[in-house]
Amino acid sequence: MAGPDPTPYPLDHLALRGEAEAPALITDGQAITFSEMNEQVGRIASALLGHGLKPGDRVASWMGKTRLACLLPLAAARAGLVHVPVNPILRRAQAGHILADSGARLLIANQARLDSLTAEDRADAATIALEGWQDGSVALPASAQDPTSLAALFYTSGSTGRPKGVMLSHANLWLGAISVAHYLGLSADDRTLCVLPLAFDYGQNQLLSTWAAGGCAIAFDYLLPRDVARAVRRHDVSVLAGVPPLWHQLAEADWSGGEGASLRTLTNSGGHLPLPLVQKLRDLFPRANLHLMYGLTEAFRSTSLDPALVDEHPESVGTAIPFAEVMIVRPDGTEAAPGEEGELVHAGPLVAQGYWRDDERTAQRFRAAPAFSKLGGPAVWSGDTALKGADGLIRFRGRADAMIKTSGNRVSPTEIEEAALASGAVAQCAAFGIPDAELGQAILLVAEPKGEDPENRLKNHFAAELPAFMRPKHIVWRDKLPVGPNGKLDRTAIQHAIEEELP
């Protein structure tokens, strides 16, 4: 198969990829064609500019998978704006941080979400309730935006602080969509059930890669795994993406009515799938190809394992995807030998433009590619440890930082610790990720109590202020936490002291 076209285009041109009368999007049971989608993208873009926004302004969205949420990535791009999607499961504090940090000029959200925000949370953003949104009366035509210009900020957590905005250009998002559509072999006949949050690069790519192939995306918010199975059957779904916790849940759902017969492509990223789960998915969906992948928001996606090799090498994340150069690098900057561990470094046009308004962290993570790189230019130094076997397949070994990967989400220990301290029930604390068969990693909090009934006060605070995936699964109480010679908590000593008690 010939390689995909490496030419980037303005992101809104994805609305032109399919046949005019072919179905492009289904939301709330309502289908629109590519022709209708292009028209609606143009009207939304017109409405955004009608609210006083100027090219380069940031527009944030905080809602479920509505029609507007699905089309905003293209509409904002057509208007020359920068889209900032906020995960709908986030609470007031996290949304407020993203609004302030991004400098969003406009926030579109459900009225209930808007009501949860204080004036300080809104920062400089004007607000529009989703319930009152109206598309523009005149549709803007397909744009001529510079593909290198900024199109979106995706907020991702790091190990040393609050979520940071990863800057993605039109070219980053366009080529990511083209790459995925190519290596998954997507076509105009495919119907993708979009169950992952659209605020994740992996989640949004469910839409973009489907449209790149001229296929139909079905936006779906679910409560129970059984809901997903029913939706797969109802919509004759052929493509389904998930993260390990979701695949664990779906593997336990009832598919005995033949609900999965239409599935032909399954994808996983955001963590490792254990071999027993891989085998169960194979048994449940024997006609489906299973793609095991590795990615990071700073470079969208890096590798994918050929489905034909999954049974033999389920521990591998495969090889570089189209438009990506993936290298394993020694500490001295030279290429690691086959079987030798090193840092995974990603170069090529999928590499993001850096972190929003954070030159220091950008310089740390986005550096020149190693001298032996074929593509050269800027690269993402992931901090992740991996190795490439003699067979050319890459095996992920671990993350060099303390970031917690739980339920397919990247969670900063600092965010958990700040929330615990804000409860008033904790004097000092430290958060860690520990292995968990279902979640990938579970969050463990070690804390010094403060005041009366600290456990209930802490849990109630977490329930009110943190989304479910950020709440510690285990809390260990200690009268006093050890400190190092610099007066800071000795995280290594804390972790070692509780190793025998870890569940």
Q: pLDDT (tens digit, 9 = 90+) per residue, 443-463?
A: 999 999 999 999 999 999 999
Banded model confidence at residue 161, pLDDT cuts 50, 70, 90: low
Task: Kindly provide the b/e burial profile for residues 450-479, where b requires at least 16 CB atoms within 10 angstroms of the residue's own CB.
Answer: beeebeebbeebbeebbbebbbbebbbebe
* 22-29 average pLDDT score: 96
Structural domains of the chain, with CATH: 404-501 (3.30.300.30)
Query: How confident is residue 400, by pLDDT bands cut at 50, 70 and 90?
Result: low
Check residue 258 and report its DSSP letter.
S
Task: Give the helix ranges, DSSP H, for 375-468.
Answer: 413-422, 454-465
pLDDT average, residue stretch 298-308: 96
Q: What are phi and psi of 41, to 5 degrees?
A: -60, -45
For the residues 73-99, what does the mean pLDDT come to?
A: 96
Res. 314: pLDDT tops 80 = yes
Pairing outcome for strands 342-347 and 325-329: antiparallel
Structure tokens, 243: 């993260």
Position 455 scores a pLDDT of 95
**pLDDT for the residue numbered 49:** 97
Mean pLDDT in the chain? 93
pLDDT (average), residues 138-148: 98
Q: Is the pLDDT of residue 253 over 70?
A: yes
Exposed/middle/buried for residue 447 (C-beta within 10 Å: 0-12, 13-18, 19+) = buried
pLDDT-derived band at 315, boundaries 50, 70, 90: confident
Tokens 């590519």 correspond to what residue?
A: 34
Q: What is the pLDDT of residue 272?
A: 79
Higher local confidence (pLDDT), 64 or 159: 64
State the average pLDDT over residues 146-153. Answer: 98
Confidence of residue 502 (pLDDT cuts 50, 70, 90): low
Determine which helix (DSSP H) or strand (DSSP E) holds 170, and give its type and residue range. Answer: helix 170-183
| 183-205 average pLDDT score | 96
Residue 361 has pLDDT above 60, yes or no: yes
pLDDT surpassing 90 at residue 87: yes
Going by C-alpha positions, the residue among 352, 342, 427, 351 that lies closest to residue 385 is 342
Q: Which residues lie closer than 8 Å to 318 by C-beta, 6 or more apart?
A: 292, 293, 294, 303, 304, 305, 306, 309, 393, 394
**pLDDT at 500 (0 to 100):** 66
Residue 486 has pLDDT above 70, yes or no: no
pTM over 0.75: yes
pLDDT at 427: 87
| pLDDT value, residue 463 | 95
d(CA 467, CA 469): 6
Task: Name the pLDDT band for 483 (thresholds 50, 70, 90).
Answer: confident
What share of the chain has pLDDT > 70, as a percent? 96
Q: Looking at residue 423, what is its pLDDT?
A: 94
Give the range among 115-119, 177-181, 405-409, 441-445 with minimum mean pLDDT. 405-409
Report pLDDT for 275.
Answer: 83
